[in-house]
Structure 1
Amino acid sequence: MTDTRDTSATGFRTRFLLAAAAWAVLVAAVLVAVPKAFSDRLPDPVATHWGPSGAPDGSAPAVFLAVVPLALWAVLAVSCLAFGRRRLVVRRAGRYGIVAGLAWGGIFVVGAQAVSIAANLDRSRWQDAAPVTWQAILVVVAASACALLAAWAGRRGPDEPPQAPEPGAAVPDLAPGRRVVWVSSASAPLLLVLSGAVLAASVAFAVLRLMGLSGRDWHTAAVLAVVALAGFALSTVSVRVSSEGMRVAYGPLRWPARRVPLGRIERAWVEERYPSQVGGWGYRGLPGRATIMIRGGACLVVRYTSGGQLAISVDDADSGAALLNALLARHPAAPGPTSGERR
């Protein structure tokens, strides 16, 4: 029975990633083919920015209409496909973020490119480009509608629940000479996709600056890069518990990481927490009483010997708390409890 389920999940993941890759290639082909098809009807340079009144107030070489949207789409699509690993694809909640990101990003870049080309079409100078007002709103609305439709379509397929034991996980066997390690994580797929989009924008600005195609300074690319890295860091959290203590790592690359020695931990338990209770997503609170909120639900809560607390939203939190308390029970410097506590 287990083999059948795994085979089915693997087959679904393969089909899903093939379909996503086909969509990525189709969008990329459109972004390259459309500007090329209309190249003889566009001025050079072309209008690339419109002010609040709708009148063009910025320009760039005509290649801008193909290079920038293609760069943005490449980073976004690669980010979505990279995070389409089995643990996300076979879970309905994980698929929502991936398909919504691919749908929104693809429609948005194609729509934005189409609006820019239409505004510049058959104009002798970029200053004569048609105004852009409601068209920009239409692109955002259309992209959002397609993202919602794609998320609804993503309901189809398997929905494997996170592997988690029953409440009150059994105390692990810590026989002499046996090393027990617990590792778990949680991710926010939508934040990963959005961070990838911001990183794509940063790369695009940097490339244009290097090529001399943009008058903007490096601050724009640098600010966007910092925002993207912060988003990546807050989109994924991984926790490792062993005899050395607890290690909390951030981001898809598990870096940066924070290590808490076992001697600094007093006890651990599991507690239900949600973004509305802690003030939102990400790292909430202050040092000494903080919550790393990636998704609502069961959180591993650790109380330090100094009196502070740290709550982390991870899967299988019961097992992590049970192992920590078992290690603390035999730790000579900490008379921790012998079992987890759920509040």
Structure 2
Amino acid sequence: MNMPRPPSSPAPRGLFTAVAVAWTLLVAATLVALPLALADRLPDPVASHWGPSGEPDGSLPLVASAAVPLAVWVVAAAGGLAAALRRRAFPRAAIRARAAAVLGWGGVFTVGLQIISLGANLDRARWQDASGIGPPLVVVIVLSLAAGALAALAARRGGDDTPPPEAEPPVRPEIGLDPGRRPVWVSSVSAPVLLALGCVMAAAGVLLFAGTLAGQTRRPVEVGLVLAFAGLVVIALSTVSVQAGPEGLRIGFGPLRWPARRVPLDRIERAWVEERSPLDVGGWGYRGLPGRATIMIRGGECLVVAYRSGGRLAISVDDAATGAALLNALLATARP
């Protein structure tokens, strides 16, 4: 006799969504309101970076000092919400807890950092006269870590929930290979937010580099170069194009599909499809180490290939099932 299973405790999707969105908007509004409210008591530009000695050694225009933290927060909060509220991911308490920890820690740290930065510039005639931020920064770090921990504990309430039933996907017929023809499957996916963020970082790095050369800022020249290079890396990881064919797998990065990585067919053991989210693999971009890595552009369907050497590579890409079916058909033909 089968005993009926007790219903699972419902995950508080509505409450989690309302609190997370309200928190995101509150932090964003605070980041904008603080500089506007204190604009007449702040120098322009304002000190934005402090060296090991505790003295300010870099500056930003007042508008940029408000826009940069806001942009960072919006990207981080949007990513955390998108990953946590996916239909498949949300029922897992661990996923909700990670997203809540990011939102709690990031919000308190971003607002706290702006408060102590503006406070150091308050009523100063020049940004060079700003006071140090060492002790207050320690307090902000401790408070943000505590906020992240408390948010994670609160988000775990309700435990794991059973996701709503989904219709069975249609069975995809096996791909038949016609003799004399060269089958190729091509698919791509992009993340507009990452692309925009990369462009902003690259442009900011170039402007910072030019400002240093022109004597407008005291930041080292290397800071602008590193920021510009980091922006180019983000741009490269904002788009991925995958091609499967008799030669194996080709993975092109960036809008120009370069640089590219190739995996010969004789190195592949088999291919399949998995559902993964950025929180499952530790974020966006190239995650993991060579031999067992994930190229995460957006959560959801991923093409996974297993190497004959034992490693694995997962790529978030559209229509991954067709790519996996073609690779397996090619492998079956090559190794009957």
Question: Structure 1 residues 303 and 52, CA, compared in 2 at 3 Å: closer, same or farther?
Answer: closer
CA distance in 1, matches of 2:114, 2:175: 65
* Residue 30 (structure 2) aligns with: 30
* Residue 204 (structure 2) aligns with: 205
Q: Render the CA deviation track for 1:68-110: whole Å, top value 9, x for unaligned.
A: 2112212222222333322222222222222111112111110
CA contact (8 A) 1:119 1:132 kept: yes
> Is 2:161 aligned against 1:157?
no
**Secondary structure in 1 matching 2:293:** strand
Q: CA deviation at 1:59?
A: 2.4
Q: Render the CA deviation track for 1:230-264: whole Å, top value 9, x for unaligned.
A: 8879xxx9x9xx9999979899x9x9998879876
User: Given residue 37 of structure 2, which amino acid in structure 1 is its aligned partner?
Assistant: A
Question: Structure 1 residues 201 and 140, CA, compared in 2 at 3 Å: closer, same or farther?
Answer: farther
Q: CA deviation at 1:154?
A: 1.4
Question: Structure 1 residues 94 and 244, CA, compared in 2 at 3 Å: closer, same or farther?
Answer: farther
CA contact (8 A) 1:100 1:148 kept: yes
Among 298, 302, 305, which residue is 2:306 paired with? 302
Q: TM-score, normalised by structure 1?
A: 0.58
CA contact (8 A) 1:201 1:221 kept: no
Q: CA deviation at 1:161?
A: 7.2
CA contact (8 A) 1:301 1:309 kept: no
Question: Structure 1 residues 173 and 118, CA, compared in 2 at 3 Å: closer, same or farther?
Answer: closer
Question: Structure 1 residues 223 and 55, CA, compared in 2 at 3 Å: closer, same or farther?
Answer: same
**Secondary structure in 1 matching 2:49:** strand
Structure 2 gap ranges (5+): 165-170, 177-190, 273-285, 296-303, 316-320
* Residue 111 (structure 1) aligns with: 112
CA distance in 1, matches of 2:142, 2:77: 20
* Residue 91 (structure 1) aligns with: 92
CA distance in 2, matches of 1:76, 1:101: 8
Among 259, 265, 284, which residue is 2:289 paired with? 284
Q: TM-score, normalised by structure 2?
A: 0.59
Question: Structure 1 residues 57 and 210, CA, compared in 2 at 3 Å: closer, same or farther?
Answer: closer
CA contact (8 A) 1:71 1:204 kept: no
CA distance in 2, matches of 1:46, 1:311: 48
User: Given residue 127 of structure 2, which amino acid in structure 1 is its aligned partner?
Assistant: W
Among 222, 231, 234, which residue is 1:225 paired with? 231
Question: Structure 1 residues 200 and 36, CA, compared in 2 at 3 Å: closer, same or farther?
Answer: farther
Deviates more, 1:223-232 or 1:22-31: 223-232
CA distance in 2, matches of 1:200, 1:142: 32
* Residue 56 (structure 2) aligns with: 56
* Number of residue pairs the alignment of both structures matches: 272
CA contact (8 A) 2:91 2:163 kept: no
* Residue 138 (structure 2) aligns with: 137
CA contact (8 A) 1:46 1:120 kept: yes
CA contact (8 A) 2:205 2:225 kept: no
User: Given residue 58 of structure 2, which amino acid in structure 1 is its aligned partner?
Assistant: G
CA contact (8 A) 1:107 1:146 kept: yes
Question: Structure 1 residues 208 and 73, CA, compared in 2 at 3 Å: closer, same or farther?
Answer: farther
* Residue 81 (structure 1) aligns with: 81
Question: Structure 1 residues 211 and 103, CA, compared in 2 at 3 Å: closer, same or farther?
Answer: farther
CA contact (8 A) 1:202 1:220 kept: no
Q: Render the CA deviation track for 1:48-82: whole Å, top value 9, x for unaligned.
A: 22111112222233323322211221222222233
**Secondary structure in 2 matching 1:63:** helix
CA distance in 2, matches of 1:127, 1:176: 68
Question: Structure 1 residues 162 and 106, CA, compared in 2 at 3 Å: closer, same or farther?
Answer: same
Question: Structure 1 residues 49 and 282, CA, compared in 2 at 3 Å: closer, same or farther?
Answer: closer
User: Given residue 284 of structure 1, which amino acid in structure 2 is its aligned partner?
Assistant: L
**Secondary structure in 1 matching 2:47:** strand
CA distance in 2, matches of 1:161, 1:58: 51
CA distance in 1, matches of 2:106, 2:130: 25
CA distance in 1, matches of 2:152, 2:252: 26
**Secondary structure in 2 matching 1:53:** coil
CA contact (8 A) 2:16 2:155 kept: no
Identity %: 41
CA distance in 1, matches of 2:199, 2:288: 24
CA contact (8 A) 1:32 1:66 kept: yes
**Secondary structure in 2 matching 1:88:** coil
CA distance in 2, matches of 1:176, 1:128: 70
User: Given residue 40 of structure 2, which amino acid in structure 1 is its aligned partner?
Assistant: D
